[in-house]
Amino acid sequence: MYLCLWRYIIAAVSLDLLGFILQENNQEHVEYSLLTEEKKRIVWRLHQEQIKSENENHLRTFKKMQKNSPLLQHANYRLLAGTIPGENKLLTVGISSAHSRHRNHLLDTLQSLFQASSEHELKYITVLVHLSDIEPKWLSQTVTNISSLFKQHIEDKKLLVIHGLLKGSPLPGDLNNISHSSSCDVLRFRQKVDYALLMNFASKLSEYFLMIGDNVHCSPKFVSAIYWALSAWKEIPWVILEFSNLNFSGKVFHTSDLSRLTSFFLLFPKDTPTDLLLSEFRFLLAQNIPIRFSPSIFRHMGNYSVLEDTCFPVENEKVFDEPDNPLASVTTNMITEYTSSPQYAYILNEDCFITRNPFRGSYLTVILERPQKVIRIVVLTGSHKNGMYRLEQGQVELGYYPIEDPRGCTLYSLLGPLVEGNLDQRVFHEEDSVEELSCIRLTVLATQESWLLIRQIKVWTEPEEEEI
């Protein structure tokens, strides 16, 4: 019995000692993990500060370059059809078109644009067409066709047709008689000059400028979609808002930025692709990632020539399957009714989360079970039928580095504000930054004395690459 007792004491002491050692190791592991996470956060912050500093340096250099650039000071314009409106509109829709031996889709584009817009929507826009070719017969015939088909819009001062020339920068010769090795350089140079002339003319016509090609199909009510997006983003800094997956069409700018952009276009060699310059311009003005709404409201129509297709490859529209909402828990500081649960907002069914009187700063946070590469997020609030009980002012934020107390993430960055109670945006990340999200947070920006219905949060993730 004494021996058994002694063995018991030895075993107990051994277990205590083993437990102490394991506890020490576990504590060291926790401390190491915390130290590693803290290092990641510090590196992330330093990276952000470095980007900010680089942006400021780039912007100073760019403004200096622009100040010394005399380009477009002597541009010549002819008004071919229409009258300049007496008052500035919200949006100028700018189209540049040139003669092509293949079918020209300019008339189809204009037809789509006006058919997709109501009379009320047309009050907010001016359509500006720049005919850039110098061939007299084509110019005359195109103006005749536009004047005949869109006579009423021209008389109502909703449609302007111009022809512009840039003195001192003649365009290369006949595009059909140049060697293939230099053809893309010629087309790209011509595109930059044409759109620089277009934007230079448009800079005083409206508050915002929408750039589209002459071969684009416009979705119904595209003007309203842009109007509500501009209203939601009005207090948030941005350079380019993208309403299409196309490289060139569907991009909206502040007209106050157009003089910088036109100078920027013409500062670079003729072989630099225009879409690449747009990305660099956005970066120079401190918008580091694209702001792209989904789904696209502009689509490419018709076919390019073989030459144009080589020089301006069309980016295919990303086709999304059903959302795959990865495993996650949902937390909130909003009032939770006994018949509802915050988790309902994330489950892909007909259930929804109902709360009332959300106050400014209240939130609902989706905490992913493990970090994910998220590529698209949709947040829907309010009734599906009439939009009642939607969140009037709110925004969606992307979270990194999860924490347990309080549950959520350490760092958040803005994805975007809700537009008419909803959000549907692609998710992009800065180069060399963290690409995997741990949290998605919906934040209330203004107290709302009413019921709030958060109908659905949908998430699409990048499929994981299979290990070979």
Give the pLDDT of residue 30: 41
d(CA 217, CA 208): 20
Give the pLDDT of residue 121: 96
Please report, for residues 163, 164, 263, 275, the alpha-carbon distance to residue 193 in angstroms, rounded to integers and kept in the order given.
Answer: 12, 10, 10, 14
Nearest-5° Cα angle at 226, 228 to 451: 25
Query: Do 75-174+182-311 and 328-461 agree at the fold level?
Result: no
Nearest to 242 by CA among 211, 216, 265: 211
Q: Which residues pair with 210 in a beta bridge?
A: 93, 252
- Other C-beta atoms closer than 10 Å to the C-beta of 110 total 23
Give the pLDDT of residue 179: 44
Whether 127 and 138 have beta carbons less than 8 Å apart is answered as no
Looking at residue 185, its amino acid is: D
Looking at residue 220, its amino acid is: P
Question: Could you tell me which CATH class the domain 328-461 is placed in?
Answer: mainly beta
Q: Which residues pair with 424 in a beta bridge?
A: 378
d(CA 404, CA 439): 12
Give the pLDDT of residue 182: 58
| 53 CB burial (10 A radius; 0-12, 13-18, 19+) | exposed
Whether 404 and 274 have beta carbons less than 8 Å apart is answered as no
> Domain spans of the chain?
75-174+182-311, 328-461
Give the pLDDT of residue 40: 52
Looking at residue 50, its amino acid is: Q
* CATH code that applies to domain 75-174+182-311: 3.90.550.10
Whether 122 and 323 have beta carbons less than 8 Å apart is answered as no
Name, in order, each residue with C-beta under 8 angstroms of 330's C-beta and a sequence gap of 6 or more: 342, 343, 345, 346, 353, 364, 365, 366, 367
Give the pLDDT of residue 265: 84
SS (H, E, C) the chain: CHHHHHHHHHHHHHHHHHHHHHHHHHHHHHHHHHHHHHHHHHHHHHHHHHHHHHHHHHHHHHHHHHHCCCCCCCEEEEEEECCCCCCCEEEEEEEEECCCCCCCCHHHHHHHHHHCCCHHHHCCEEEEEEECCCCHHHHHHHHHHHHHHCHHHHHCCCEEEEEEEECCCCCCCCHHHCCHHHHHHHHHHHHHHHHHHHHHHHCCCEEEEEEECCCEEECCCHHHHHHHHHHHCCCCCCCCEECCCCCCCCEEEEHHHHHHHHHHHHCCCCCCCHHHHHHHHHHHCCCCCCEEECCCCEEECCCCCHHHHHHCCCCCCCCCCCCCCCCEEEEECCCCCCCCCHHHHCCCCCCCEEEECCCCCCEEEEEEEEEECEEEEEEEECCCCCCCCCCCCEEEEEEEEEECCCCEEEEEEEEEECECCEEEEECCCCCCCCCCEEEEEEEECCCCCCEEEEEEEEEEECCCCCCC
Give the pLDDT of residue 166: 77
Per-residue pLDDT of the chain (468 residues; tens, 9 = 90+): 333 333 333 333 343 444 444 454 445 444 444 455 555 555 555 555 554 555 555 555 555 545 444 566 778 899 999 999 988 999 999 999 988 766 678 999 999 999 999 999 999 999 999 998 888 899 999 999 999 999 999 999 999 999 998 775 544 434 444 444 457 777 788 888 899 999 999 999 999 999 999 989 999 999 999 999 999 999 999 999 999 988 889 999 999 999 889 888 888 766 778 888 899 999 989 899 999 999 999 998 866 555 556 676 666 677 889 999 999 999 999 998 778 899 999 999 989 999 999 999 999 999 999 999 999 999 999 998 888 999 999 999 999 999 987 889 999 999 999 999 999 999 998 877 778 999 999 999 999 999 999 999 999 998 876 544
Give the pLDDT of residue 11: 39
